Chains A and B, each alone.
Chain A
Amino acid sequence: EAGVVQSPRYKIIEKKQPVAFWCNPISGHNTLYWYRQNLGQGPELLIRYENEEAVDDSQLPKDRFSAERLKGVDSTLKIQPAELGDSAVYLCASSLTTGQGYADTQYFGPGTRLTVL
């Protein structure tokens, strides 16, 4: 079974430029997450989708960040314009949410390492 696929793996841009990250979750997983991992820190949730609906975007900086999950499968995370402080690893994860009150295992992709110069 293929895991979570992310592209690109690395991206270097100048500040004020736009950038986009793509994620393909595990087949059949209805829940998709985007995390940001700053150097020396653990991942922090940016946005969570259940199917096509963004059910938690409270940590997404909406002035410059946007995300979409068309057809409830692939997702794209965009930053426009990028700032120096956006340099981080952006992780995508997916899970099959059963709704039974149990902690659904999240499966992570390898991440996209963004460097903003």
Chain B
Amino acid sequence: AQSVTQLDSQVPVFEEAPVELRCNYSSSVSVYLFWYVQYPNQGLQLLLKYLSGSTLVESINGFEAEFNKSQTSFHLRKPSVHISDTAEYFCAVSAFYFSGGYNKLIFGAGTRLAVHP
């Protein structure tokens, strides 16, 4: 079974400062990794995902995450945040099956990023 731990429930940061949201996972099999963002009163939106290949993945709005297999981590980073980045961020993991088939998402508890002017 897989599990996800998001180490910080809340992260306050000033605008234009860098930020890192931490995510660790546990799994006995290979995994896919995801970051979702939830803005107030909206559904979850996929921010970025790691399936295979390069361990550094990027989103279109400046976020990036690095898959570290040895540390079982998938931390999310942004070098300079904006007020509009204020949201809840969820890390999720899905087991990878070579035979294909079902990929159940297991979510962490979320990290609330609050960007202050």
Question: Which residues of A approach B to under 8 Å, CB–CB?
Answer: 3-4, 40-45, 48, 55-56, 91, 93, 99-111
Asked if residues A103 and B44 are in contact (CB atoms below 8 Å), the reply is no
A100 to B51, CA, bound (A): 13
A74 to B1, CA, bound (A): 30
Q: How many residues of B contact A (CB 8 A)?
A: 30
Interface CB pairs A-B, < 8 A, 8: A4-B43, A48-B104, A99-B100, A101-B98, A103-B49, A103-B96, A105-B49, A108-B36
- With a CB–CB cut-off of 8 A, which chain B residues contact A43? 44, 90, 105, 107
Q: How far in angstroms is the closest Cβ of chain B from A91? A: 7
* Given A103-B49, A105-B49, CB of A111 within 8 Å of CB of B101: no
Asked if residues B109 and A42 are in contact (CB atoms below 8 Å), the reply is yes
